[in-house]
């Protein structure tokens, strides 16, 4: 019997017992004391199950690691069957720090190779770590949006292109509407190379009142060309749009919401104010947001505030305390790395086919559970 059902049964029992006549008043007090002692235990057990239990990992769980690459991105998906997808590779340099952290996450998940590496765009905090990672762990296929479009990113692109030209890896150039061949999860391309999905997904297409809000202008960098994806596992939907900018978000979401509601939103652009517009965030109404920010990169006050004020705000998890955000930061239990020396703590999401999931904070060693809403 669950803690909730047990507590209900105890309440009913107490109500019946209190209605019975007692010759001895002490007996009444003793019964009440036993009841409340048992109820307290039940409530403590229930609370522990929702906020402080270890990850309920099983052979049927999808595992998602939000690796701390200090304000870049490296998100590793590992299916119950052991198939893997890594979105971005973090920064270059730093003595291979980001590659080492990604490999550590892969080994924690019990895998010795990464089947697919998806590069959202060619900025140093997303593609920069690719050569170092390829030297440390086998990779099967690279996925990207095609040629580099930003002169300032050409050097990074050339280093990545050298991997592709080596002939060691398969290569996929993705376009909106494509389904990526990753077994165990459904991965649909939402945006790529400046184009966005044109047809609403099943169940989506409703008018988006958040389009009335003004957005930010785009730029001429690789950001608006980000390769964005919707990852579906059973009933759970996870959205990752890379660094897609607000102007492209409006193309995707206005006048109608082409995505529908999302369970887990990997905050666009590390929670930077140039992305994560109201037209996107308030329309998808995420249950949980994950912000892969650094201490001084991402986690902008406005972006965090928009997440907090979405129609159904739940929890906002951050990889770092944002020095810029100050009062808009989440509570400490939702932050993997607080102020201080670099600790490299990560967040880990475990998902089930029914849409339930949990988030584990490697700093606090605590887990918060989220039930299915479908």
pLDDT at 260: 96
- Tokens for 215, please give them: 């957005």
Q: What is the pLDDT of residues 300-342, one digit of tens each?
A: 999 999 999 988 768 999 999 999 998 999 999 999 999 998 8
- Tokens for 306, please give them: 């928009």
Residues in the chain: 374
Domain boundary among 13, 29, 51: 51
Residue 316 contacts residue 345 (beta carbons within 8 Å): no
Range of lowest pLDDT (46-50, 97-101, 332-336, 368-372): 46-50
Q: Are residues 32 and 106 in the same domain?
A: no
Whole-angstrom Cα distance, residue 149 to residue 166? 22
**Does the pLDDT value for residue 7 go beyond 80?**
no
Q: Are residues 69 and 41 in the same domain?
A: no
**Does the pLDDT value for residue 89 go beyond 60?**
yes
Q: Are residues 20 and 68 in the same domain?
A: no
pLDDT at 3: 42
Q: Are residues 34 and 77 in the same domain?
A: no
Q: Are residues 209 and 278 in the same domain?
A: yes
Whole-angstrom Cα distance, residue 89 to residue 322? 22
Range of lowest pLDDT (45-54, 172-181, 184-193, 271-280): 45-54
The 10 Å Cβ neighbour count of residue 158 is: 12
Whole-angstrom Cα distance, residue 6 to residue 132? 54
Q: Are residues 87 and 108 in the same domain?
A: yes
Helical residues (DSSP H) of the chain, grouped into ranges: 3-19, 25-51, 97-108, 124-127, 130-134, 154-165, 246-253, 278-284, 301-308
Could you tell me the residue range of the domain that residue 351 belongs to?
62-370
Mean pLDDT value across the chain: 87
Query: Could you tell me the end-to-end alpha-carbon distance of the chain, in angstroms, rounded to an integer?
Result: 23
CATH code assigned at 215: 3.60.15.10
Average pLDDT on 238-267 reads 97
**Does the pLDDT value for residue 11 go beyond 60?**
no
Q: Evaluate whether residue 36 is within a structural domain.
A: yes
Helix (H, G, I), strand (E, B) or coil at 333: helix
- Tokens for 100, please give them: 């080492």
Q: Evaluate whether residue 57 is within a structural domain.
A: no
pLDDT at 99: 98
pLDDT at 215: 63
Q: Evaluate whether residue 101 is within a structural domain.
A: yes
Higher-confidence residue of 359 and 12: namely: 359
Q: Are residues 11 and 156 in the same domain?
A: no
Q: Evaluate whether residue 226 is within a structural domain.
A: yes
- Tokens for 297, please give them: 């990169």
Q: Are residues 255 and 145 in the same domain?
A: yes
Q: Are residues 24 and 140 in the same domain?
A: no
- Give the total number of structural domains in the chain: 2
Whole-angstrom Cα distance, residue 201 to residue 179? 13
* pLDDT band at 32; cut points 50, 70, 90: very low
Helix axes 3-19, 25-51, angle to 10 degrees: 170
Range of lowest pLDDT (12-16, 61-65, 162-166, 365-369): 12-16
Q: Evaluate whether residue 267 is within a structural domain.
A: yes
Whole-angstrom Cα distance, residue 129 to residue 59? 30
Q: Are residues 312 and 218 in the same domain?
A: yes
C-alpha angle 204-207-210 in degrees, rounded to nearest 5: 110
**Does the pLDDT value for residue 42 go beyond 50?**
no
pLDDT at 163: 97
Q: Are residues 25 and 78 in the same domain?
A: no
Q: Are residues 186 and 273 in the same domain?
A: yes
* 19: Cβ contacts below 8 Å, ≥ 6 apart: none
Q: Evaluate whether residue 324 is within a structural domain.
A: yes
Q: Evaluate whether residue 56 is within a structural domain.
A: no
């Amino acid at each position: 019997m669950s803690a909730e059902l047990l507590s209900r049964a105890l309440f009913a029992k107490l109500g019946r017992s209190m209605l019975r006549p007692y010759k001895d008043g002490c007996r009444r007090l003793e019964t009440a004391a036993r009841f409340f002692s048992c109820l307290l235990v039940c409530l403590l057990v229930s609370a522990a199950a929702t906020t402080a239990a270890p990850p309920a990992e099983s052979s049927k769980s999808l595992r998602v690691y939000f690796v701390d690459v200090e304000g870049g991105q490296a998100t590793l998906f590992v299916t119950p069957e052991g198939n893997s997808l890594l979105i971005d590779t973090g920064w270059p340099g730093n003595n291979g720090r980001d590659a080492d952290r990604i490999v550590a996450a892969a080994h924690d998940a019990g895998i010795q190779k990464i089947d697919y590496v998806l590069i959202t765009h060619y900025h140093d905090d997303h593609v920069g770590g690719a050569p170092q990672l390829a030297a440390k762990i086998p990779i099967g296929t690279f996925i990207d949006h095609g040629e580099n479009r930003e002169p300032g990113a050409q050097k990074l692109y050339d280093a990545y292109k050298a991997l592709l030209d080596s002939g060691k890896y398969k290569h996929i150039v993705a376009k909106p509407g494509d389904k990526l061949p990753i077994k165990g999860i459904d991965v649909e391309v939402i945006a790529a190379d400046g184009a966005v999905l044109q047809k609403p997904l099943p169940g989506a297409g409703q008018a988006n009142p958040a389009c009335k809000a003004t957005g930010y202008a785009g730029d001429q960098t690789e950001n608006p060309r980000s390769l964005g994806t919707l990852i579906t596992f059973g009933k759970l939907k996870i959205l990752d749009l890379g660094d897609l900018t607000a102007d492209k978000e409006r193309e995707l979401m206005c006048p109608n919401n082409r995505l529908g509601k999302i369970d887990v939103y990997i905050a666009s652009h590390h929670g930077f104010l140039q992305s994560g517009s109201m037209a996107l965030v308030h329309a998808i109404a995420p249950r949980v947001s994950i912000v892969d920010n650094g201490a001084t990169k991402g986690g902008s006050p406005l972006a965090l505030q928009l997440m907090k004020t979405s129609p159904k705000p739940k929890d906002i998890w951050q990889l770092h305390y944002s020095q810029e955000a100050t009062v808009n930061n989440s509570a400490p239990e939702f932050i993997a790395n607080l102020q201080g020396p670099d600790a490299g703590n990560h967040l880990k999401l475990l998902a089930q086919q029914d849409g339930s999931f949990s988030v584990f904070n490697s700093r606090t060693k605590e887990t918060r559970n989220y039930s299915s809403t479908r």
